[in-house]
Structure 1
Amino acid sequence: MGTAVAALVLVLWRPAWRRARHVVTIAHEGGHAVIAVACGRRLSGVRLHSDTSGLTVSRGRPSGPGMVATVAAGYPAPTVVGLIAAVLLSRGYALAALWAAVLLLALLLVWIRNFFGLYVVLLAAAVVVAVSWWAPPEAKVALAHLGTWYLLFGAPRAVVELQRLRRRGRGRESDADQLAQLTGIPGGLWVTLFALATSGGAVLGVLLLAARAGLLPP
């Protein structure tokens, strides 16, 4: 479980979080993009910024279920990706998890519309491809677990940051506040739902990986 400890350090230690948070942002914006396309919206593009923020723009009806689903998809997306990876790892498919990550990054690359976003996604893809292709099996398993733990632990922290921004009056364009405008449900309740989804997903992921490691009774 050393990779779990390493992931916690990356999430809880602020200097590391500032840099590694781009991984969570990639999954977040990818979630917006995938659901937008799935709901029949026209995706204009995705931008990733050096401050770890991002923006996904799609065209279609400015309201309705498709727009709500698109906006709501961001914060749970890292948890969903982490859980899918955890399921693969729990069945011994570490390499499959890595190549799935490469495919998702390649898909996102098509939608990127700024140079920094291009740099971040290419760098992430290069690391995963290099490890998947040339690294020994132990390194492949370690990277797959580290990435999975990081997404599972990082998603709840991103929600905490969202609420902090809202309390400071700097989150008026946040996903939660956009959802409040679209649905009439208060933004604070949306933050609570995001928190429950991400923390619950983290617990489920921990149980899956702990069972695989033999740390839970059969």
Structure 2
Amino acid sequence: MVSIDGLTSIWDTLLGAQPDPPPLLVLLTGVGALVVVSTGRLWRVARNAVTIAHEGGHALAALLTGRRLHGIRLHSDTSGLTLSAGRPTGLGMVITLLAGYLAPPLVGLAGAGILGGNRITLLLWVAVALLLAMLVLIRNVFGALSLLVTGGLVLAVSWYAAPQVQAAFAYTGVWFLLLGGLRPVVELQRLRARGRMPASDADQLAGITPFPAFFWVSVFALVNLAVLGFGAVLLAGRILTGHGLSG
């Protein structure tokens, strides 16, 4: 049984600010994330994290717009599927379809905001909590294993790793989500151009709005670029000033 002092210590660890990471660490983690996003073999493995955020975005949007969420599937080819029920048209469906490709960089931006206050452990624990919440909605074995492995890794880093290791892990993850939101949009358009994704989110949006699929692909790209720029400014502030954004 955990004592009151133990609970207080955990609470202080969770909400307390960690030491400022070296500016070089912030820079190198950004470069490392860019290498992962740009390298085919590394991307094929790491893309699972983007898929988790993508499907999580669909699921959250469906719940917030009043749709009935039936479950999420994550597949070994890094694709995913979120099943919800409700009106097949209307604003709720538009928001649900939009949320997938926009979710990874938006999650990264939220992470950059938390890192701005040096709440590195808090960021890692929030990530674990979100993964556990998503696990309840998973409807296939590979999806459950993906979330358990990812959540277990994040929890282990937050619990056992030294502060600098936690910082490197957290900054790499945030940079990766910010940068990794763009490559799936490029891949989407390439596949669409070859006629290999006729039921993509963009094509479904085209079917329920007056705008063509390429318009929605452009929206994905422009929003994700803007979010990447904003997130990079938040993170790069540490490189330029040499200390935390919160002082």
Could you say whether these structures have the same fold, taking a TM-score greater than 0.5 normalized by the shorter chain as the test? yes
The TM-score, its normalising length taken from structure 2, stands at: 0.86
1:137-169 Cα deviation digits (max 9, x unpaired): 111111110100000010011100110110010
Equivalence for 1:178: 204
Letter paired with 1:54: G
- 2:221 & 2:59 partners in 1: Cα distance? 21
Please list, as runs of the form range in 1=range in 2, the aligned pairs for 1:61-210 lying within 5 A after superposition. 61-210=87-236
1:40-62 Cα deviation digits (max 9, x unpaired): 11100000001100000001111
Specify the structure having the higher radius of gyration (Cα): 2
Letter paired with 1:110: V
- 1:97 & 1:189 partners in 2: Cα distance? 34
Letter paired with 1:61: R
In structure 2, runs of 5+ residues without a counterpart are: 1-26
Equivalence for 2:50: 24
- 1:108 & 1:184 partners in 2: Cα distance? 33
Could you tell me how far 1:199 is from its partner in structure 2? 1.1
Identical aligned residues as a percent: 53
Matched, 1:37 2:63: yes
- 2:240 & 2:170 partners in 1: Cα distance? 18
The TM-score, its normalising length taken from structure 1, stands at: 0.97
1:109-137 Cα deviation digits (max 9, x unpaired): 01000001011111100000000011111
Equivalence for 1:5: 31
1:84-109 Cα deviation digits (max 9, x unpaired): 00011122111111111111101110
- 1:84 & 1:154 partners in 2: Cα distance? 15
Equivalence for 2:23: none
- 1:89 & 1:188 partners in 2: Cα distance? 35
Corresponding pairs, count: 217
- 2:182 & 2:45 partners in 1: Cα distance? 17
- 1:48 & 1:168 partners in 2: Cα distance? 24
Could you tell me how far 1:215 is from its partner in structure 2? 5.1
- 2:197 & 2:215 partners in 1: Cα distance? 14
